[in-house]
Amino acid sequence: MRWLQTISNWLRSLFLRNTTEHELSDEMRFHLEQQIEENIAAGMTPQEARRAATREFGGVEQVKEECRDTRRVNFLDNLLKDIRYGLRMLRKSPSFTFFAVAVLALGIAANSAIFSIADAVLIRALPYRDSNRLVMVWEDSSAYGFPKDTPAAGNFYDWKSRNQVFEDVAALPYGGSFNLTGEGTPEELSGKRVTANIFSVLGVRPALGRDFRPEDDVPGAPHVAILSHGLWIRRFGADPQIVGKQISLDHEKCTIIGVMSRGVQFPDRETELWVPARFTKEQLANHGNHFLQVVARLKPGVSLKTANANLATIAKQLEGEHPDSNAKVGTFAVPLREELAGDVRPAILMLVGAVCFVLLIACANVANLLLSRATGRRRELAMRLALGATRGRVIQQMLTESILLALFAGAVGLLLSVWGTQFLAALIPNGIAPVTGAGVDSRVLLFTLIVSLATGILFGVIPASRVSQFHLAFSLKQGGGQSGVGSGGHRLRDVLVICEVALAIILLAGAALMIRSLQNLYHLDPGFRADHVLVMRTPLPRQKYEAFAPRVAFYDQVLAKVEALPGVIAAGYTTWVPLTNSGGATGITVEGKPEPAPGNVLIPNTRIISRDYIRALRMRLVEGRLFESRDAGGTLPVALVNQTMAKNYWAGENPIDKKFKVGGYKEKSPWITVIGIVGDVHQAGLDVAARPEMYLPYQQQDFGFEPEYLAVRTSGDPIAIAEIVRQQIWSVDKEQPVAGVMPLEDLVDENLASRKMQASLLSGFAALALLLVTLGIYAVLSFAVTQRTQEIGVRVALGAQPRDVLRMIFSQGFKLFLIGAASGLAAALALSRALQHLLFGVSAYDPASFAGVTILLAAVALLACYVPARRATRVDPLIALRYE
């Protein structure tokens, strides 16, 4: 407990300053008086007694000071003094303070905002127990064009039973939606079928009710469901008695057994409920149907590498056991965090780099300002040194000022960043809990504090260390003259400006490359026209539309009614509109080609469509014909193929009238005739090249894929027609849920949203850098002009023309720009390779981008030079010389 006492003593001396001072004086006085009394008792006169006592005691003030020292209040005392003095200095030059705080606040705000995003996406633990032990397991079917394939249930089952590296393995079929009917409006919910162990693998428990049990997860078991916290509140009014109640899901009675704890959003934010997957024995033995997501928990101490080695061994075994389905199929695990962060990770790292640069530029700027201020204050500082202040003490005072500035800026920056974070939240991927907008996270607070302190030290230490170096006598002698810090100071300021220019070039080059990528994507022909197209989803309840005929009838009727609507140009059904599914593929055999060896099966993407789908999306017909009314059920099976499929599967031949079938030669499926070739469509994303793809009419046979997306091309605003289309669907089946109603253009925008965001953020930061650099160059040159007024005056007096003066100042400024630009370009070229990932259709060394930003910065630098240069030409030699 001794340290507690020590601290309380320390705090007492610090905060009860007056009391302790009094006590100290009283103590000294008591001693003296005691001594005096003793002296009197020894026979001295009172006067003699006092004199003797005082002499014996020595310097009272020195003793007091030593006592204070032992209490270690001096350092803090000085600090308080420095802070008070610093505040006064900042108040005395409000424009400097405002400018410095503003510049730094912008830099700090950018850092805090980006940090809060980076923290959420890359650093903070996921809301699962020991989340760093969670991985997702994928199949590697690169041989078939799917380097990261959704695993087959049979493979999942074998991994689960054979592995030695996982505590447990859970699976959930890809996709998933449920029609919630009964009370209230019918609604399509995004939900997941999951194996019963999913929550125990994740390490989370329901907030209400119970978890799934193995007996819930067998075919034929009573239907049960666990609600997400969000759905419980949204749809069921947070009913505390919800457990045990029944709801109707896809027309089946289903008992709610639990409500998951808040914050669990697995595998994504949209998921609102979970039901047992209830895999059948047949499904768990099927190795060819790939439709799962698999999540596993590593045993403690097992590394990812060990896990992957074990999985590879099992994959090899399976290849031997099931050559038809598993030839050339590998297996690998990816940490869950990496999986959820996805492609956002490089973008966020890029932005982290960018904001660091912005902050460095801001620091350089403020350091420059401080340097010129320091020049103005050299007499004050020289005086302090002359009066006996140690250099350390002077540096402490200078640093206190700069840290004060930085802390102010940090406070302002924090406010800005709260606002900025909400804007940036769109960067957070779907599977990760979003940053809560309200209130400031303590981690962000701490980060901002640390950044502010570091910033203050960084930009403060340069001027402070310089100040402590200068020659005392020299400075005092120079008196109130105009002369500056001497050549050393100039050089330092020049270096700072050069660094600023270099950093700005890097940022500008990055932004230019990102913008070019975005432009390329916008100008890219995706193979369809997204304008004036309305899309919506009508997932048919399995129970009700088990048979093929009612399904066909549903599509026939809906399409006939929608096509008849005024303002509708074409309407079509498809399994997936572009940008909604990168896969959805089927193995086929091409007539006349040898049966492919295992591992070489052709697996084109499969789209089951209606007659006018191609027209509704304005896809291009390259050769042959599109589907017509005659391609109905019971007629010759036909198909359209895309250009990639035509080129890859019938190299050097004309695929029209060629035949293929689903499955191998032995398969009972009918031969399908190719009747036309359509242009490639970017299905997986605007920046992803097309795979081989075939289109089949929905009436001809049941492929196991059902059309779900209705696409309607309109003459007017597509949204205007949404309500009428929905009414037409309900006139066919009044219980049919309709979901995801939106213009196709929104899907395209969504697909580009994160790129757009990245490009605009980087551009914003680059613009900020540009502004700061302009100010930096301007500040340095105008300071230089002030410094050189006498010199310029002499030159003009000796006959220099304004042109000469202009050239002199320009060349000084431009020299800095050139050095900065050259080093910046070199650094940018080295760094832009890291951007390659984020670029599209533009090289990381794109000369046009690099030249462009150099010219832009050069123009701005010229402008920044011009104003001070003009001022230099107006120097009146008489006035200038009189200063001397």
User: Which residue in 21, 48, 56, 804 binds another protein (CB under 8 A)?
Assistant: 56
Task: Scan residues 115-144 and list those touching another protein (CB under 8 A).
Answer: none
Q: Helix 94-118 vs helix 442-467: angle between axes, to the nearest 10 degrees?
A: 140
Q: What is the spatial distance between Cα 37 and Cα 557, in angstroms, rounded to a whole number?
A: 119
CB of 75 to another protein, least distance (A): 14
546 binds another protein (CB under 8 A): no
Do 675 and 656 touch, CB atoms closer than 8 A? yes
Q: What is the spatial distance between Cα 572 and Cα 707, in angstroms, rounded to a whole number?
A: 10
Minimum CB distance to another protein smaller for 10 or for 814: 10
CB of 81 to another protein, least distance (A): 21
Minimum CB distance to another protein smaller for 31 or for 393: 31
Minimum CB distance to another protein smaller for 75 or for 423: 75
Range in contact with another protein (rule: CB under 8 A) among 1-9, 76-84, 161-169, 250-258: 1-9
CB of 74 to another protein, least distance (A): 13
Give the closest residue to 762 by CA, choosing from 586, 508, 553, 524. 508
One-character DSSP codes across 38-61? HHHHTT--HHHHHHHHHHHH--HH
CB of 80 to another protein, least distance (A): 19
55 binds another protein (CB under 8 A): no
One-character DSSP codes across 767-817? HHHHHHHHHHHHHHHHHHHHHTHHHHHHHHHTT--HHHHHHHHHHHHHHHH
CB of 5 to another protein, least distance (A): 4
CB of 30 to another protein, least distance (A): 5
Q: What is the spatial distance between Cα 738 and Cα 188, in angstroms, rounded to a whole number?
A: 7
Minimum CB distance to another protein smaller for 65 or for 702: 65
Residue with the two structure tokens 């050095």? 819
Minimum CB distance to another protein smaller for 33 or for 282: 33
390 binds another protein (CB under 8 A): no
User: Which residue in 21, 48, 66, 130 binds another protein (CB under 8 A)?
Assistant: 66
Count Cβ atoms below 10 Å from residue 473 Cβ, excluding itself. 9
Radius of gyration of the chain (CA): 38
CB of 383 to another protein, least distance (A): 24
Strand partners, 585: 605
User: Which residue in 14, 52, 67, 858 binds another protein (CB under 8 A)?
Assistant: 67
- What is the b/e burial string over 812-847, where b = at least 16 CB atoms within 10 angstroms of the residue's CB? bbbebbebbbebbbeebeebbeebeebbbebebebe
Structure tokens at 18: 């007056």
Minimum CB distance to another protein smaller for 62 or for 185: 62
Minimum CB distance to another protein smaller for 22 or for 491: 22
Q: Where are the beta strands (DSSP E) in 644-761?
A: 659-662, 672-678, 693-697, 709-714, 739-743
Minimum CB distance to another protein smaller for 33 or for 667: 33
Q: Where are the beta strands (DSSP E) in 252-396?
A: 252-260, 273-276, 292-298, 330-335
Binding mask 6-45 for another protein (x = CB under 8 A): x--xx--x---------x--xxx-xx-xxx-x--------
- Element spanning 641, H or E: strand 638-642
715 binds another protein (CB under 8 A): no
CB of 8 to another protein, least distance (A): 9
Task: Scan residues 171-190 and list those touching another protein (CB under 8 A).
Answer: none
Minimum CB distance to another protein smaller for 2 or for 803: 2
Residue with the two structure tokens 């032990």? 133
From residue 491, alpha-carbon distances to 145, 442, 495, 496, 780 in Å are: 58, 41, 6, 9, 11
Minimum CB distance to another protein smaller for 30 or for 883: 30
CB of 860 to another protein, least distance (A): 58
- Site size with another protein, rule: CB under 8 A: 30
CB of 7 to another protein, least distance (A): 9
Give the closest residue to 742 by CA, choosing from 768, 698, 697, 712. 712
CB of 2 to another protein, least distance (A): 5
Range in contact with another protein (rule: CB under 8 A) among 70-78, 263-271, 460-468, 674-682: 70-78
522 binds another protein (CB under 8 A): no
CB of 27 to another protein, least distance (A): 5
Q: What is the spatial distance between Cα 49 and Cα 293, in angstroms, rounded to a whole number?
A: 97
Q: What is the spatial distance between Cα 27 and Cα 877, in angstroms, rounded to a whole number?
A: 68
Range in contact with another protein (rule: CB under 8 A) among 60-68, 92-100, 226-234, 850-858: 60-68
User: Which residue in 71, 223, 345, 373 binds another protein (CB under 8 A)?
Assistant: 71
User: Which residue in 15, 16, 45, 59 binds another protein (CB under 8 A)?
Assistant: 59
What residues contact residue 793 under an 8 Å CB cut-off, 6+ apart?
875, 876, 877, 878, 879, 880, 881
User: Which residue in 17, 25, 57, 213 binds another protein (CB under 8 A)?
Assistant: 57
Minimum CB distance to another protein smaller for 39 or for 177: 39
Minimum CB distance to another protein smaller for 2 or for 523: 2
CB of 21 to another protein, least distance (A): 13
Range in contact with another protein (rule: CB under 8 A) among 51-59, 561-569, 619-627, 840-848: 51-59
Q: What is the spatial distance between Cα 675 and Cα 626, in angstroms, rounded to a whole number?
A: 7
User: Which residue in 2, 666, 668, 803 binds another protein (CB under 8 A)?
Assistant: 2
Q: What is the spatial distance between Cα 617 and Cα 712, in angstroms, rounded to a whole number?
A: 8
Q: What is the spatial distance between Cα 564 and Cα 558, in angstroms, rounded to a whole number?
A: 10
Residue at 385: amino acid letter: L
CB of 58 to another protein, least distance (A): 5
Minimum CB distance to another protein smaller for 4 or for 798: 4
Minimum CB distance to another protein smaller for 6 or for 635: 6
Minimum CB distance to another protein smaller for 27 or for 282: 27
Range in contact with another protein (rule: CB under 8 A) among 61-69, 96-104, 508-516, 707-715: 61-69
What is the CA 631 to chain-centroid distance, rounded?
A: 49
Do 616 and 711 touch, CB atoms closer than 8 A? yes
Strands 166-173, 621-624: pairing is unpaired
Task: Scan residues 765-824 and list those touching another protein (CB under 8 A).
Answer: none
Q: What is the spatial distance between Cα 751 and Cα 729, in angstroms, rounded to a whole number?
A: 28
Range in contact with another protein (rule: CB under 8 A) among 53-61, 442-450, 644-652, 736-744: 53-61
CB of 11 to another protein, least distance (A): 12
- Residue 435 phi, psi (nearest 5): -70, 130
CB of 57 to another protein, least distance (A): 5
Task: Scan residues 621-650 and list those touching another protein (CB under 8 A).
Answer: none
Structure tokens at 715: 């003459």
CB of 38 to another protein, least distance (A): 8
Residue with the two structure tokens 């006064």? 88
Range in contact with another protein (rule: CB under 8 A) among 68-76, 351-359, 651-659, 699-707: 68-76
Q: Is 711 exposed, middle or buried (0-12, 13-18, 19+ CB in 10 A)?
A: buried
CB of 6 to another protein, least distance (A): 5
What residues contact residue 697 under an 8 Å CB cut-off, 6+ apart?
608, 609, 610, 611, 627, 631, 632, 638
Q: What is the spatial distance between Cα 758 and Cα 837, in angstroms, rounded to a whole number?
A: 13
Minimum CB distance to another protein smaller for 3 or for 305: 3
Binding site for another protein (CB under 8 A): 1-3, 5-6, 9-10, 13, 23, 26-28, 30-31, 33-35, 37, 56-59, 62-63, 66-67, 69-72
